[in-house]
Every structure is written in C-alpha cells, then in structure tokens.
Amino acid sequence: MQAVMDSIEKGNTNESLQSFLDSMSDSLGNGYGYNIEDLDKLPSYQNTGGCSLDSLKNLSSSALNNAYKQLTSSVNGSTAQINAAVSKAAKKYGVDEALIHSIIKNESSYNQYAVSSAGAMGLMQLMPVNCKEDGVSDPFNIEQNIEGGTKQLKKYLQMYNGNIEMSLMAYNAGQGTVARRGVTSVNDLYKMPKETQNYVKKVMATYKSLL
C-alpha cells in the first residue's frame, strides 16, 4: 500500500495506479462485485507496483475512496503541495475539497502565478481587496492563496445557506452584483453576466466529475 500512497503524494498518475484505484472505487463505492477479501482477483491488482494484499485489506473503504479523490485531483493538474493546501483549508473551513479543486481548475488551471486582465491573482484568482480582507500578503503563495480563497468561499456558502451555485455566482461576480441583479436562487442565474453564467456551469461540471 505504501507504493500507492507514495505515488499519490508525488502526483504520480500512471495508468496502472489509475486503473487500480478506479477498480477499488467502483467496487467499494457501489457495494457489489468485489469485496475487501477479493482484492487479489482484480486484474489491476497485479500492476500496482508491489502493494501487499494484507496491507490493502487493512484499509477502510473510506480511506481508499479518499486516496482515489486525491489522485483524481492530481490528474486534473494539481500537485502534492496544492493538494495538501486544499486539504488543510477544506478541513479548517468545512468546505468540500472537490469544490475547492473545481474552482482552482476553472480559475487558474492550477497556475499559481496566473493574473487576469482584471487583476485577480494566483490559484483561486484573488482580487487585491480580497487579499486585504483575508490577510493574504502574497497571493502567489500556494498556501496563502488557497487559505484566502477558501475563506471567501465559506463566507458565501454561509451567506447563501450552503447553496453552491449562488456561492459561485458571488465568488465570480461579487455579492453586490448578485444582489443588484435580483438573484435569489439558482433559477435566476440567467440574470447574471454571461461570463458568470458560464463560470458557474463549468465549475459545477468539474465538481460533479470529482464526486
């Protein structure tokens, strides 16, 4: 099992590891087919680089599924450092890791030095005012940027009673724009600028693909 976890930590996305985790995620998540005692029957088990069957059997299904999600994030372009920062911020603010990754993917495509024409900076594309509000002194620092962006996202999730689409509208266009345009539910998305409409749809598509 150490070989699998080492590969995930290093951002290794080789096909054999992907295949193995796909098989494990499907079998454990769906509740049928292979069970924990049948791991050695999985075709992909033979290509996992020396993982022992005994060590795999000691893992819970939740641990394996978590490992699978981490790998999925790496496939989309993140790194071990970004994954660690996302996990830390997600735990601190109670925000789904997959949602944070989805925002990063669509905001900056995992480019920590990205700068938009409007002046948004870093992985989660923080504006200068956001940096000031959230205590971010270096928006190009991975940990600071993700900490600030997740804090901002959490604020919107609380403001809109956990509604992800509404929170994404505010994250992209600002809560003032949401209010001025009379947006009170996801059904009012059409009232937002076209850019925001597309943004929400793209982030939600990425988010659903990671669940």
CA distance 76 to 138: 24
Q: How many CB atoms lie within 10 A of CB 37?
A: 9
Candidate list 107, 133, 143, 165, residue with the active-site label: 107
195 is catalytic: no
CA distance 106 to 10: 23
CA distance 137 to 68: 33
Please, which residues have CB within 8 angstroms of residue 182's CB and are 6 or more apart in sequence?
A: 188, 191
CA distance 173 to 199: 10
Quick one: residue 50, left, alpha or beta (phi over 0 = left, psi -120 to 50 = alpha)? left
| Active site residue ranges | 107
